[in-house]
């Protein structure tokens, strides 16, 4: 199996005995020379990892269970630490929290083994972020851009579309030479199957890996899953100089699992019964993202961790912890979701600390004041709800704000290319959408892009190549927008 330890004839073993077993935590005696992170093997075929020490006992977390472990069982340890197989053969495969295949497609041939708890790249090994990771989610690419190597948190209440934002970002990487890793932690099998069905339907598995430790998996596998996903991504970033995007869905469940482990280990509970090192646990993980210097191959690894809030409380312990260690957050609002504004990202509470630096120059020019206009529109809308009548000027601003809101709306599993977003924003900024009603916006966008692709496909290719609004591109866009009008031709 992928997680087994190969023992050579000359390798030293140290034997011990199980003194006590509490769910997935075993108290061991006899391993006097062991260390944290070291593997141990039980006589019944189970595998564990040493996670601590207490009053003469070594504490072992069971990560792979063979026969039932009971007091008195023998075990042995070697000098090998906790590693997993990594390599290109993992592309297109579904593995568990130990990097073992679970898709029934046979064993995976690994290129090498990598430590699960790998050290993050040092400051001198990194370079500032300059390239955009195009998510295909309009409200993100326009107002909260994500750079390659960034850590952008997605947080919000249950069933508000957090996973959809992340999976749309994965769908949008098709053909962009980016490896995507979806890490499922503690979620129901049904939720995982929905994502897998979508990936298979859209041929995502050709450039993706799925690491799945669902709620039915052992506590040990759920705990290790995000680190295994990061190790798989690091192979492509470090060895191949590739760009990688990793989605952790979600770190709230990971924190729950670690709290459960810690209470079984009899560690002192702190705030919300979480152990004191929960911050270190997640910061150690997210620090592994980044963009490497050209001397290191110029690879990058982008993290999109997901965190669940309770009744919109972003001040909870785990949300605030992870907000403080990421480069921005996308807050998904339950009231917006209930109103039908999807993706329900609250612009006022969302931010990208990388900012517009990684955006296309064309997008930067057009989307610069969009955030301010939209927030002002939402405030104006609240004020005018209690008034029976408004002036013509206010009515005009409200209508334009509703058009902007309609532009930002998007169906799930339907990522929009950046060039399409730029063209739509150019039409808005230059008054071509002033006469439209909000309900006409979706048809206008579809019809306009179809018209440009039919009449002047080279214009779109030139925009993708230049990424900026040069004079000839502006002239071409003006010509096409004027010819299209409001969709009559």
* CATH value at residue 40: 2.40.30.20
pLDDT of residue 487: 53
In this model, does residue 5 exceed pLDDT 80? no
Is residue 2 in a domain? no
Is residue 489 in a domain? no
In this model, does residue 392 exceed pLDDT 60? yes
In this model, does residue 2 exceed pLDDT 50? no
Is residue 3 in a domain? no
**Which tokens is 489 given?**
């031709």
Query: Residues with Cβ < 8 Å from 30, sequence gap 6 or more?
Result: 14, 15, 16, 17
Tell me, yes or no, whether 344 and 414 share the same domain. no
Query: Residues with Cβ < 8 Å from 116, sequence gap 6 or more?
Result: 37, 82, 83, 84, 224, 227, 228, 231
Number of domains comprising the chain: 3
- pLDDT tens-place string over residues 340-354: 999 999 998 999 988
pLDDT of residue 3: 46
Across 120-135, average pLDDT: 94
Across 463-471, average pLDDT: 93
Q: Comparing C-alpha atoms, which of 331, 94, 328, 418 is closest to residue 228?
A: 94
Tell me, yes or no, whether 47 and 181 share the same domain. no
Q: Comparing C-alpha atoms, which of 149, 153, 185, 150 is closest to residue 166?
A: 153
Phi, psi at 53, each rounded to 5°:
-140, 145
Please count the CA atoms within 13 angstroms of the CA of 289 that sit on its side-chain side: 29
- pLDDT tens-place string over residues 58-100: 999 999 888 889 999 999 987 777 889 999 999 999 999 999 9
Residue 371 annotated in active site: no
Per the CB < 8 A criterion, the answer to whether 207 and 179 are in contact is yes
Tell me, yes or no, whether 183 and 51 share the same domain. no
In this model, does residue 7 exceed pLDDT 50? no
In this model, does residue 446 exceed pLDDT 70? yes
Q: CATH number of the domain at 163, please.
A: 3.40.50.300
Tell me, yes or no, whether 190 and 57 share the same domain. no
Tell me, yes or no, whether 195 and 70 share the same domain. no
Cα separation, 309 vs 53, in Å, equals 33
- pLDDT tens-place string over residues 261-292: 999 888 888 888 999 889 999 999 999 999 99
**Domain-ending residue, one of 81, 111, 135:** 81
Tell me, yes or no, whether 338 and 394 share the same domain. no
Is residue 6 in a domain? no
Tell me, yes or no, whether 345 and 395 share the same domain. no
* Average predicted confidence (pLDDT) for the chain: 91
In this model, does residue 374 exceed pLDDT 90? no
Across 166-181, average pLDDT: 96
**Domain-ending residue, one of 303, 324, 359:** 359
Predicted confidence band of residue 385 (pLDDT cuts 50, 70, 90): confident
Give the range of the structural domain holding residue 314, as residue numbers without chain letter: 85-359
Q: pLDDT over 90 for what percent of the chain?
A: 74
Is residue 1 in a domain? no
- pLDDT tens-place string over residues 176-223: 999 999 999 999 999 999 999 999 999 999 999 999 999 999 899 999
**Strands 47-54 and 57-64, bridge-based pairing:** antiparallel
pLDDT of residue 9: 39
Residue tagged active-site, from 242, 353, 453, 454: 353
Tell me, yes or no, whether 415 and 288 share the same domain. no
Cα separation, 296 vs 104, in Å, equals 36
Predicted confidence band of residue 445 (pLDDT cuts 50, 70, 90): very high
Cα separation, 211 vs 191, in Å, equals 14
**Domain-ending residue, one of 81, 111, 140:** 81
Cα separation, 242 vs 251, in Å, equals 25
pLDDT of residue 388: 63
Per the CB < 8 A criterion, the answer to whether 82 and 116 are in contact is yes
Q: Which of 158-172, 389-403, 428-442 is the least confident region?
A: 389-403
Tell me, yes or no, whether 19 and 109 share the same domain. no
The structure tokens 């906790």 sit at: 82
pTM greater than the 0.85 cutoff: yes
Cα separation, 219 vs 156, in Å, equals 24
């Amino acid at each position: 199996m992928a997680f087994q330890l190969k023992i050579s004839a000359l390798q030293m073993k140290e034997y011990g005995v199980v003194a006590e077993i509490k769910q997935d935590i075993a108290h061991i005696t006899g391993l006097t020379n062991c260390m944290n992170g070291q593997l141990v093997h039980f006589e019944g075929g189970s595998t564990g990892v040493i996670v601590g020490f207490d009053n003469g006992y070594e504490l072992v977390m069971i990560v792979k269970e063979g026969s039932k472990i009971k007091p008195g069982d023998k075990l042995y340890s070697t000098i090998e630490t906790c590693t997993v197989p990594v390599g290109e053969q993992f592309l297109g495969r579904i593995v568990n929290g130990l990097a073992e295949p679970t898709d029934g497609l046979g064993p995976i041939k690994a290129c090498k083994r990598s430590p699960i708890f790998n050290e993050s790249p040092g400051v001198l090994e990194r370079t500032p972020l300059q390239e955009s990771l195009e998510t295909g989610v309009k409200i993100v690419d326009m107002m909260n851009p994500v750079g390659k190597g960034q850590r952008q948190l997605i947080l919000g209440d249950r069933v508000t579309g957090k996973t959809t934002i992340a999976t749309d970002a994965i769908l949008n990487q098709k053909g962009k030479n980016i490896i995507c890793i979806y890490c499922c932690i503690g979620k129901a099998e049904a939720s995982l199957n929905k994502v897998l069905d979508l990936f298979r339907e859209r041929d995502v598995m050709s450039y993706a890996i799925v690491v799945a430790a669902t709620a039915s998996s052992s506590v040990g596998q759920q705990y290790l899953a995000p680190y295994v996903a990061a190790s798989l991504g690091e192979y492509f970033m470090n060895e191949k100089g590739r760009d990688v995007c990793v989605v952790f869905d979600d770190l709230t469940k990971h924190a729950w699992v670690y709290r459960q482990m810690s209470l079984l280990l009899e560690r002192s509970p702190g705030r919300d019964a979480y152990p004191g090192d929960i911050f270190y646990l997640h910061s150690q993980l997210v620090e592994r993202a980044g963009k490497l210097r050209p001397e290191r191959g110029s690879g990058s690894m982008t993290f999109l961790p997901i965190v669940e809030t309770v009744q919109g409380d972003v001040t909870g312990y785990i949300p605030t912890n992870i907000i403080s260690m990421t480069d921005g957050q996308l807050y998904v609002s339950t009231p917006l979701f209930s109103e039908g504004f999807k993706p329900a990202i609250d612009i006022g509470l969302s931010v990208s600390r990388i900012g517009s630096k990684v955006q296309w120059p064309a997008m930067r020019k057009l989307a610069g004041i969009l955030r301010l206009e939209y927030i002002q529109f939402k405030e104006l809308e609240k004020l005018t709800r209690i008034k029976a009548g408004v002036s013509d000027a206010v009515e005009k601003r409200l209508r334009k704000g509703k058009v902007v809101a309609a532009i930002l709306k998007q169906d799930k599993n339907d990522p929009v290319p950046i060039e399409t977003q730029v063209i739509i924003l150019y039409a808005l900024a230059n008054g071509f959408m002033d006469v439209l009603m909000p309900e006409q916006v979706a048809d206008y966008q579809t019809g306009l892009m179809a018209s440009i692709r039919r009449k002047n496909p080279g214009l779109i290719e030139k925009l993708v190549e230049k990424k900026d609004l040069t004079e000839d591109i502006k002239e071409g866009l003006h010509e096409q927008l004027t010819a299209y009008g409001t969709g009559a031709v």
